[in-house]
Structure 1
Amino acid sequence: MRGRFGPPPPDGGPRLQRSDGTRPQSGRPTLPGPATETVTLASGVRVEQLITGTGDPVTVFAHGLAGDIAGTRPLGSAVTGRRVFFHFRGHGRSDIPPGPWSFGDLATDLRGVADLSGATRALGVSMGAGALCRLIAETPDRFERAVFYLPAPLDGRRSDAAVQRLNRMLASVESGEAAMIADAVEAELPASVRNTPAGWSYLRQRVDQLQRDGLAVELETLWPEPAVPDENLLRAFRGRALVIGCEGDEVHPSGWAERLATLLRADLQMYDRPTVLWTNRQELRDRISVFLNS
């Protein structure tokens, strides 16, 4: 595929070769995930998506940079109605249109998926939250409810930690080495999870997905243009919003969560430490579902 890092593994499975004997050594492939489909948006871009649940309302879930469908599914596990998870351009099996890209392009992807499914609610994670902000800035009446989980800065400026994270991930996927990819993914896990069955399962799933699908080099072109050209446009949002941030997260500064909540007149939930999806998973899922289901 043009522009995508990461050839497929030579015989299909990740090889987590570690010196630590407590970690998985077999290289056994992960179990296959649920069947996805590829849909063509009004823009002509084809994206991979997964729909779960039945009935209304419909909620669309937008993942973060270098994220995937599997990583956003836990956030919607208790949300009623249909749940639409998808891969932005350059992720998973979605298309890689010619670059450079902007958050306007990501907002077009998100809008296209939402329009096809009739979604009236949305949740965005990090980069996905930025795309959701851009969409709302353009059409403030598009969603009735919106959740912004760990919103990244909207001004086009990234912290050193954010730059290093993307560089590390792209370099590891470009190498094609499962152990290098696992190191990059593991760096994002809390220490308490790294030597647990849940941590190993997550590592294997992510290594398998990134080796299989890779990441597009065009993702580096999303910056430095601001995600939203004028933050004040967000004040026109007509729905209800929930912003969720964390103290101590270098990639997703808590100040931006507070700033976004003010602009949207949103409910704000701040956690006292990062990696909340691992450390406060049940409470996080309950908070999101109560907001979206009410």
Structure 2
Amino acid sequence: MRDFRWPPPPDAGPRTYGPGPSAPRSGRPALPEPETELVATPHGVRLERLVTGSGDPVTVFAHGLGSGIATTRPLGSAVHGRKVFFQFRGHGRSDAPTGPWSYLDLARDLRAIADLGSATRAVGVSLGAGALCRLLVESPERFDRLVFFLPAVLDQPRPPAVRERLSNLLDAIEAGDASALAEEVSYELPPAVRNTPPGWAYLRQRLDQLLRDGLAPALATLPEQVPVRDRAALARVTVPALVIGCVADDLHPVPVAEQLAAALPNATLHVYDKPGVLWTERADLRTRISDFLNG
């Protein structure tokens, strides 16, 4: 049942204008958007990139489907060295070459950004975790440490309900329907956060970004695909890996995280006991990732 309405009630949103402070009154997973750059890649696709921090090691962060730099930045807030965030093709200001696209295309985007930034570590979120798996099948020793946060798919396609969610999201963006788009984005929020000032602030930020930059229609074919044909191919990836999942997350089933951790010879699995980790366990998640990468 729908438990919010759009536009938000007058007293349910932030009372300031502009980008606002770096953290809302009770926290939200996305940070204000900084100035980014477009970089050319060897495969001819310009990608939007943000580099923060300094020194070594260098960690590349790959976002989820329909997300971007803003939603991955919190994961690197305590990670040492340089951090390279980017937008996959079809997201943000990155190019959207003629489709259809595959996980191989996404792996090329990830590899190009990692190579340009001399990254030795990688964090993949949802779709980004799939792209990272595809890259590792070809180059199992490309990185020396790996984090997979909420992997969504491995060698079995996503269920029809997930494909329908993405289709609804793309339709709402194409139609410029803020109400329908808010409905879809609200599923990213835990029920307890909806209809709260931080929840509305998050919705406003996500809607502003999605309605401004859009999402490429070619993304619609990705939920029907798998990153790897056989998870056994990941047995050659012997570097330390951290796999993080959470229960009751329909878009990121725990069995996928379990299968990925089992396929990687040197992986540690952690499963949170409730969804909405970036809201409910933000500090623990940040510490868990940074301790692993900084260790």
* Structure 1 and Structure 2 fold alike (TM over 0.5): yes
Number of aligned pairs? Answer: 279
**Contact 1:245 / 1:254 at 8 angstroms: preserved in 2?**
yes
Deviation, structure 1 residue 177: 2.6
Deviation, structure 1 residue 77: 0.6
2:115 is aligned with 1:126: no
* More displaced stretch, 263-272 vs 154-163: 154-163
User: What runs of 5+ residues in structure 2 fail to find an aligned partner?
Assistant: 21-31
Partner of 1:228: 228
2:77 is aligned with 1:55: no
Distance 1:77 1:127 in 2: 21
Which structure 2 residues correspond to residues 24-103 of structure 1 after superposition, within 5 A?
24=13, 30=19, 33-103=33-103
**Contact 1:141 / 1:237 at 8 angstroms: preserved in 2?**
yes
What is the TM-score with the length of structure 2 in the denominator? Answer: 0.90
**Contact 2:156 / 2:226 at 8 angstroms: preserved in 1?**
yes
Which structure 2 residues correspond to residues 144-183 of structure 1 after superposition, within 5 A?
144-183=144-183
Deviation, structure 1 residue 179: 2.7
| 1:112-160 residue CA offsets vs partner (Å, 9 max, x unmatched) | 0000000000000111000000001110000000000010122251123
Partner of 1:4: none
**Contact 2:36 / 2:49 at 8 angstroms: preserved in 1?**
yes
**Counterpart amino acid of residue 155 in structure 2:** D
**Contact 2:6 / 2:182 at 8 angstroms: preserved in 1?**
no
Distance 2:164 2:68 in 1: 19
| 1:227-267 residue CA offsets vs partner (Å, 9 max, x unmatched) | 11221110001311000011121111101101100111300
CA RMSD of superposed structures (Å): 1.9
Which structure 2 residues correspond to residues 15-26 of structure 1 after superposition, within 5 A?
17-18=6-7, 20-24=9-13
Deviation, structure 1 residue 220: 1.2
2:294 is aligned with 1:293: yes
Partner of 1:282: 283
2:235 is aligned with 1:246: no
What is the TM-score with the length of structure 1 in the denominator? Answer: 0.90
Partner of 1:111: 111
| 1:182-225 residue CA offsets vs partner (Å, 9 max, x unmatched) | 22211221111123332222111111110110000000122433
Distance 1:83 1:42 in 2: 21
User: What runs of 5+ residues in structure 1 fail to find an aligned partner?
Assistant: 1-15
Change (3 A) 1:184 1:27: farther
| 1:50-77 residue CA offsets vs partner (Å, 9 max, x unmatched) | 1111111000000001011100111111
Partner of 1:209: 209
Matched position secondary structure for 1:71: helix
**Contact 1:103 / 1:134 at 8 angstroms: preserved in 2?**
yes
